[in-house]
Amino acid sequence: MMQTKPPSPPERPPWWRGAVIYQVYPRSFADGDGDGVGDLEGLRARLGYIAGLGVDGIWLSPVFKSPMADFGYDVEDYRAIDPLFGTLEAFDTLLADAHRLGLRVIVDLVLSHTSERHPWFLESRESRDNPRADWYVWAEPRPDGTPPNNWLSVFGGPAWSWEPRRGQYYLHNFLTAQPDLNLHTPAVQDAVLAELEFWLARGVDGCRLDVANYYLHDPLLRSNPPRRCQERPADGVPDISPYGRQQHIFDKSRPENLGFLRRLRALFDHYPDSVTVAEVHDDDSVARAAEYVAAPDLLHTAYGFSLLGPKLSATLIRDSLEAFAAQPGTGWPSWAFSNHDVPRAVSRWGDGSPAFAKLLVALLGCLRGTLFLYQGEELGLPEADIPREQLQDPFGKALWPVFKGRDGCRTPMPWDGALPHAGFSAAAPWLPVAEEHRARSVADQERDADSVLAFTRRFLSWRRGQPALRLGDIAFADTPEPLLAFSRTLDGKSVRCAFNLGAAPITASCWGESLTLAGHGWVSVP
């Protein structure tokens, strides 16, 4: 008699698909040692709070050794924790505690550039014939002594600085203190992959890859063409920045980048439960993000800046998700409304009201993709207004007063409005606590069953029981602004979602019936 093989159990979806990941900006989350700057010990003491939100993991912005010219995004040593945040042992304890609570941990790796104090750069700049001479991007001046081409720094001014030791310019797409690595050099690729593996072997669950489309540049150093008048500026770039006047086709997003991304993915495949999350900062960041995840040998997921911009509309949301889905391949997207680089969404997009904050939490939670919730979104925190004399962000200092920089979204978490510095620290914090945040502190909202915090906890708890919202397909209904409606479907079971992005009530036909929603109202129907 023929033996029949029992059916194989269904393959478990990767943990990160449809996950909600909470971004922690460690300088501003919780201060454990009382010096006014958040740290790993402060974060560890608050892990229960994060787990209680109902999220799946943490994205931890950089805590590596750094001179802090760009607050950790200028790395001096990839394998050391900066003393400001703690020690490597403190990180290991934090990681273990997070795992015990069921929280995954993603670290933020900056591979396109280092600090000017990194030992690799200190050696590279000394001469043209040392062992690391080609580890950074060096170029001869033009005959008149000016930089080799017209590339600009995101932060303003030329992307080239003169180094007298070598008599050459070096490339920095951001601050002069952030020289760009030359990832065309195989030894540099080997070195940065080894830094990644150090953290994977230590047990982290993945890496967020800062500005992943900046890794490789045009080796011929050709100048970028000007942007034509009808073309929109690059996603995530302030309109006043000269950076937006160029088409960035030679200084980033090069086709050669895909080869390095495949090497990077091959490393992560040796750690099969880990994830790569790419940040993409491009003229069309949705298309570029989709390109970077289009095949199984590329990255796991990626996000761009299309939903981190200044205007919210139903069309924007629909166009962004449908544009990603229309790209070749079957890649998985990620989405965020707020993070450490842009003004908080409740202020950037709306009136800052609790009702609007709840709408944004629900809307984000119903989108198809891996979702990132920035610290304070669960409280509905508005953007803080930082006086010029207390400004810390070099981007804001360069473009003040037209652009005030990123400090307004980076102010300390308000844990208890009745305490000094809202319970963030016993000392004066590195950025002031916004007074309007005190009334929205964690302690205050935990006493209010109708608060944004209480809503976020209920919503994320409910979402966990809706497989269609985590993994299902999405199909949009044709509705007028400001109504956004779509269905999420998995295995024949659907959840229908509708959101009124405006402040006034709206009635419209949707799914063959009349639907009425209050201002900033929403509904989800299994």
Taking the C-alpha atoms of residue 471 and residue 216, their distance in angstroms, rounded to an integer, is 33
Q: How far is CA 364 from CA 59, 358, 473, 501, in A?
A: 17, 10, 15, 12
| Alpha-carbon span 419 to 331, nearest angstrom | 46
Three-class secondary structure of residue 24 per DSSP? strand
Q: Give the SS3 label for residue 409.
A: helix
> CA-CA distance, 21 to 370, in Å (whole number)?
8
Separation between Cα atoms, residue 154 and residue 75, nearest integer Å: 18
Radius of gyration (Cα) for the chain, nearest Å?
A: 23
Cα atoms found within 13 Å of the Cα of residue 451, Cβ hemisphere only:
20
Q: Which among 116, 279, 377, 378 is annotated as catalytic?
A: 279
- On the 0-12 / 13-18 / 19+ scale of CB atoms within 10 A, 161 is middle
Instruction: Please give the structure tokens belonging to residue 86.
Output: 């703690």
182 secondary structure, DSSP code: -
**Cis, bond preceding 401 (omega within 30 deg of 0):** yes
Quick one: DSSP state of residue 506?
Answer: E
Catalytic residue, candidates 39, 108, 205, 210: 210
Tell me whether residue 279 is one of the annotated catalytic residues: yes
Question: H or E element: which one contains 139?
Answer: strand 138-139
Distances (CA, A) of 123 to 113, 128, 330: 15, 10, 43
Q: Contact 61/106 with Cβ under 8 angstroms?
A: no
How would you classify the pairing of strands 77-81 and 104-109?
unpaired
CA–CA gap between residue 447 and residue 441 (Å, rounded):
10
Among this protein's residues, is 210 annotated catalytic?
yes
Query: Which residues, 6+ apart, have CB-to-CB distance to 240 below 8 Å?
Result: 399, 402, 403
- Upstream peptide bond of 482 is cis (omega within 30 degrees of 0): yes
Burial 296-322 (b: 16+ CB within 10 A, else e): eebbbbbbbbbbbbeebebebbbebbe
Distance, in Å, from the CA atom of 310 to the CA atom of 419, rounded to the nearest integer, reads 34
* Strand intervals (E) in 248-339: 275-279, 301-303, 332-336
Q: How far apart are CA 379 and CA 156, in angstroms?
A: 34
Catalytically active residues are 210, 279
